[in-house]
Chain A
């Protein structure tokens, strides 16, 4: 076999195969990181108000209002997630992704440290996974560390270098544009999500959910709704999650009173209200609005994962949720409701 002097000398086959193997591993790592980011973004996009509240709680809204920061963060997370999932591993993708991972770990790490030192309640996770995933600060930190860091490290492995002529491959413009479009779509979705009927999807309160499974805290400090409101574990109940200071809810007290006064029946289960209130707030509400239904003081850590917007209502049968309603439940109109007497026995002197 003769070799023409004009023919270029080719590189041996083995290094090329190695580069290809590491390239695939890196792409896989990047895709996994992308999937994690997309799942986290989806969970938060369903309830952007809660995400904005967490941003405000972390004092990250010093430049822009928290809801704006929340939308921008979701757009960034989706954009990076899609880009990584589509196999783009340029430095302008990986560096922001690394910064995002460091940011998440700093939040979960801080919450973990505070909880471990008794500074913050144990149930207060950073909420990076929204309401869909219930994690203690320790779980949040270790899960984030184990899910994100190895995948990020792998994403840096076997990246495409320069070609044989020492030039970079052309930019992945189509994939980048696709990611940008999806990021904008995610922001639009998050913007409209509060008005969409997604409560069952976005929260832990959905038909089939158990009262005893609605919990907060970990270990010995774990508290569940069946401990806070033991009556809900048996029989049929209509439960309203409410903010007692909300004028909209206050206006509905008369209708709820009329409903409560009609007495429990299979068609009209006993009504109770769960609210994150102090004893004083409850007492003030009682004397001002004269509710004819029990108000159960429920820790915010248990309540918050159950709603996106208050009020929200649901029906339980023997400790299991059978139906949910956005807002107040459908109540009979006041004029036709069998209202109880305003007070006292009917016979008066």
Chain B
């Protein structure tokens, strides 16, 4: 098969055009694994120049491992790399947000060194200097006392909103719970510092969202890390581990969500409620 010079020129032009169009994408490339998958992180809050920044975005990549901090209070996103203990800033346009809420760093991002960070109090505070600002990542104080779901979601959106986003409660169980004739209250004793609570309470928050408008009400009681069992409310209900959910049907305790019951909280809740209804 032979081509005329004109055909060859056209083929070359098409190939060149394709390459030129593809070059930016090729240059940008796919991020390396270690720079991908920064997930919203809820255990720390940001303090800039001594003032808390409530709407700051803090991400963490387990693979790097590194923290990425983004806020309008700072000129650029800040990257804290745990292994090298370094602080660097990068251009905002090199941070790619993904649909699932995670963040990737593009590999050709230019990093500006800002020095190193200092860790104090077993990691409860991480401080560094970024340009002219003093930046502090500080462990959130625990959420204590009686709260509604909205308080938890506002306290740490990465934990209590993002944490339950992918959970899909059983539709049939939810429909059955919505038909519960008697008033039900679920009081959850939890610790905002407790990793298992951080995993399972968001699942119940999702269940609560699904049960909006039903006769089932939820309340959340935060306990401190030390002396948890000495809190009068915990003593009153004999709480010695968290998370523990007490289910009240018609004002009377009908059962508890503990241990494995948290794996599918709506199913456990339905079992307790059905049991209470049957024994009436």
Q: Is B193 a contact of A349 with CB atoms below 8 Å?
A: no
Residue of A nearest to B86 (CB): A343
Q: From A228, A280, A291, give the contact of B122 (CB < 8 A).
A: A280
Within 8 A of B (CB), among A170-205: none
Q: Does B25 contact A (CB under 8 A)?
A: no
Q: Does B24 contact A (CB under 8 A)?
A: no
Q: Is A220 a contact of B261 with CB atoms below 8 Å?
A: yes
Query: Chain B residues with Cβ under 8 A from A228's Cβ?
Result: 196
Q: Is B260 a contact of A345 with CB atoms below 8 Å?
A: no
Q: Is B124 a contact of A279 with CB atoms below 8 Å?
A: no
Q: From A215, A287, A346, give the contact of B123 (CB < 8 A).
A: A287
Q: Is A344 a contact of B256 with CB atoms below 8 Å?
A: no
**Bound CA–CA A67/B32 (angstroms):** 51
Q: Does A252 contact B (CB under 8 A)?
A: no
Q: Is B110 a contact of A227 with CB atoms below 8 Å?
A: no
Q: Does A7 contact B (CB under 8 A)?
A: no
Q: From A227, A260, A342, give the contact of B262 (CB < 8 A).
A: A227
Q: Does A263 contact B (CB under 8 A)?
A: yes
**Bound CA–CA A230/B203 (angstroms):** 13
**Bound CA–CA A342/B81 (angstroms):** 8
Q: Does B275 contact A (CB under 8 A)?
A: no
Q: Does B109 contact A (CB under 8 A)?
A: yes
Query: Chain A residues with Cβ under 8 A from B66's Cβ?
Result: 343-344
Q: From A226, A280, A286, A291, give the contact of B263 (CB < 8 A).
A: A226
Query: Chain A residues with Cβ under 8 A from B256's Cβ?
Result: 220
Q: Does A243 contact B (CB under 8 A)?
A: no
- Count how many chain B residues have C-beta atoms less than 8 Å from C-beta atoms of the other chain: 48
Within 8 A of A (CB), among B229-274: 238, 240-241, 256, 258-263
Q: Does A284 contact B (CB under 8 A)?
A: yes
Q: Is B108 a contact of A344 with CB atoms below 8 Å?
A: no
Q: Is A283 a contact of B122 with CB atoms below 8 Å?
A: yes
> Scoring A residues 195 to 231 as 1 if CB is less than 8 Å from chain B, else 0, what string do you get?
0000000000000000000010100111110111010
Q: Is B119 a contact of A287 with CB atoms below 8 Å?
A: yes
Q: Is A297 a contact of B110 with CB atoms below 8 Å?
A: no
> Scoring A residues 250 to 283 as 1 if CB is less than 8 Å from chain B, else 0, what string do you get?
0000000100110100000000000000011001
> Scoring B residues 54 to 75 as 1 if CB is less than 8 Å from chain A, else 0, what string do you get?
0000000011111000000000
Q: Does A150 contact B (CB under 8 A)?
A: no
**Bound CA–CA A263/B263 (angstroms):** 28
Residue of B nearest to A294 (CB): B62
Given contacts A280-B122, A292-B63, A294-B62, contact A287 B82 (CB under 8 A): yes
Q: Point out residues on A near B: beta carbons under 8 Å.
A: 118, 215, 217, 220-224, 226-228, 230, 257, 260-261, 263, 279-280, 283-284, 286-287, 290-294, 297, 340-349
Q: Point out residues on B near A: beta carbons under 8 Å.
A: 31-35, 62-66, 79, 81-84, 86, 88, 90, 94, 105-112, 119, 122-124, 126, 193-196, 199, 225, 238, 240-241, 256, 258-263
Which A-B residue pairs are the 6 nearest by beta carbons?
A: A343-B81, A283-B123, A340-B34, A290-B83, A290-B82, A223-B259
